[in-house]
Amino acid sequence: MFNEFYPLLCAIVANIVAQLLKPIFHYIKTGNWDFKMALESGGFPSSHTALVVGLAFAIGYSEGFTSTFFYIAFCLMLIVVYDAANVRYYAGQNIRMTKQLINDFEVLTKHKLTDPVYQERVKTVLGHKWVEVIGGLVLGFIVATALYFFR
């Protein structure tokens, strides 16, 4: 029965482990514990990447690395990795820049923007740097490989 759910289990375990590692690596980097990082997107390692890499390699191990299922999972993996490191990362940068422009405008004009849209808290960390994506890639591979030997 474990064999039936092996790819799904690898994906879920890789995602959970990545999320649980984020506060630890945040502490190593900053010296401050932030347990909320376990529920956040962004940070090291990329849980999105760990999930799809774990899924792709688990499918490769169980169905074969020349199977149609692996090719589908591999293409999904490429999309998610690219999205995590580029699209989502630069969306976060755009949010950060927009917030700074609003702040600069208010300071320079001495006029507080009162529309609620300007007061809304927006998350600036959406995506990942490449090192965070590579961390997720390695983690997903390790989880899929380790669980393969325990199935």
Which tokens belong to 133? 């994506």
46-58 pLDDT, tens digit per residue, is: 999 999 999 999 9
Is the separation of the CB atoms in 51 and 19 below 8 Å? Answer: no
Distance, in Å, from the CA atom of 24 to the CA atom of 47, rounded to the nearest integer, reads 14
Q: Is the pLDDT of residue 22 over 90?
A: yes
H helices present in the chain, as ranges: 2-30, 47-63, 68-82, 88-109, 116-119, 130-149
Summarize the confidence of residues 3-24 as an average pLDDT: 95
What H or E segment, with its residue span, contains residue 37? none
Q: Is the pLDDT of residue 88 over 90?
A: no
Distance, in Å, from the CA atom of 101 to the CA atom of 97, rounded to the nearest integer, reads 6
Q: How many CA atoms lie within 13 A of 63 on its CB side?
A: 19
Distance, in Å, from the CA atom of 36 to the CA atom of 101, rounded to the nearest integer, reads 28
Domain ranges of the chain: 2-89+128-149
**Helix 2-30 vs helix 130-149: crossing angle, to nearest 10:** 140
Residue, of 114 and 78, whose pLDDT is higher: 78
66-78 pLDDT, tens digit per residue, is: 999 999 999 999 9
